[in-house]
Amino acid sequence: MDDIAGLQRQLESAGYIADSALAATLLLTLDLGRPLLVEGDAGVGKTEIAKAFATVRSARLIRLQCYEGLDVHAAMYEWNYQRQLLAIKLLEQDDRPLAAKEQDIFSETYLLKRPLLEAISCEESPVLLIDEVDRADEAFEAYLLELLSDFQISIPELGTIKAITRPLVIITSNGTRELSDALRRRCLYQFIEHPDFAKELAIVKIKAPQAADQLARQVVAFVQQVRRMELQKKPGIAETLDWTAALLRMGITVIDDDGAERIIDTLSALIKTREDRTGFTPDVVARIAATC
């Protein structure tokens, strides 16, 4: 229990408020050496976990942003073929044996390391963040599985590269595609909900210390109410912070029903679709503001 509280404190000083369950899971990933799969709505701070954890462990953060069509060349390694071509032309005058030239061309000098290769060839164990893995296709997922089980990459021209240290792997997913069971089985799992009042207030205080205590409370209460409404896109923590900044910028120091008109001007930081926006008439805003 002390470990967990300790890690929570460290994460907090790195700017991330984690509940005890998450801290316990992070400790477990260290113990078991398994990747951690994090799911949750957009904007609940999935990516931030990796960043904060890297800061706490003072490890390097290596990030692989997944997208449709991500392939081995963008994720693992690629040969720097322009330089290789140049080298071939230069080596034409060289009278060394052919095998030596070839070895020269396919040496590490001409290898471009992409995030995954980078992560397993670090001297000190880094934090590897594989962001939005559901955007990459299934073929890539299979490749990823192989890497996560053996922590080695084989490059046909160069041989197998084994991990010097095991990276700590954190995988995030938004659920645009169902992940394979194999990947899920290999990972520890954590689902992050939208934060409750106390947690969100703590986050606002850490990330936006310039907001006065009363305003911070009101902002959080307001956002919590908004989340309970039927919206297409519920505001995440990032939106709460943006909105706080917007309020401060407009010089609004207190949320009350009189200031509804001015609050509406700042709502573009919180509400992100037109359909949702039409629901926020001055009456509605005033009503929510009155309860804060």
Partner 1 sequence: MLTGAAAQRRDIGSDLLTRIAGFSGFLHANGYGVSASDSVDIVDTASQTGILNQAILRWNLKSLLCERYEEWQRFDTLFDAYFLPPNKNVFMQSDAAARSQEVTAASDDDGALDSQTTAEHAVVDATDVAGHGASREENLSSTDFSDLNHADQARKVEALMRRLAQRLKHLQLRREVRSHRGRRLDLQSTIRQSVATGGTPLRFAWKTRRRVRPRLVLLLDVSRSMNAWSFFYLRLARALCKELKDVHCFIFHTRVTSVSEALRDPDPWRAQERLNVLAVGWGGGTRIGECLQDFNREQGARLVHSRTGVIIVSDGYDTGDTALLADALATLRRRARRIVWFNPLLNQPDFTPVARGMRTAMPYLDLLAPGADLAAIERVLPQLIESLA
Which residues are at the interface with partner 1 (CB under 8 A)? 1-4, 6-7, 10, 20-21, 24-25, 27-28, 30-32, 36, 39, 41, 56-57, 68-69, 71, 78-79, 81-82, 84-85, 88-89, 105, 137, 175-178, 180-181, 184-185, 188-191, 230, 232-234, 275
Exposed, middle or buried, 78 (CB in 10 Å: 0-12/13-18/19+)?
A: middle
Smallest gap from Cβ 41 to partner 1, in A, equals 7
- Between CA 126 and CA 105 the distance in angstroms is 29
Tokens representing residue 181 in the block: 């069971």
Which residue number, 33 or 282, has a Cβ lying nearer to partner 1?
33
Smallest gap from Cβ 163 to partner 1, in A, equals 19
Evaluate whether 154 touches 77 at the Cβ level (below 8 Å).
Answer: no
Which residue number, 235 or 292, has a Cβ lying nearer to partner 1?
235
Smallest gap from Cβ 259 to partner 1, in A, equals 30
Which residue number, 92 or 213, has a Cβ lying nearer to partner 1?
92
Smallest gap from Cβ 90 to partner 1, in A, equals 12
Which residue number, 85 or 142, has a Cβ lying nearer to partner 1?
85
For 236-274, b where at least 16 C-beta lie within 10 A, e where not — what string?
Answer: bbebbbbbbbbbbeeebeebebebbeebbebbebbbbee
Evaluate whether 53 touches 13 at the Cβ level (below 8 Å).
Answer: no
Q: Which phi and psi angles does 62 have, rounded to 5°? A: -110, 125
Smallest gap from Cβ 3 to partner 1, in A, equals 5
Which residue number, 91 or 246, has a Cβ lying nearer to partner 1?
91
Q: Any idea what DSSP says for residue 190?
A: E
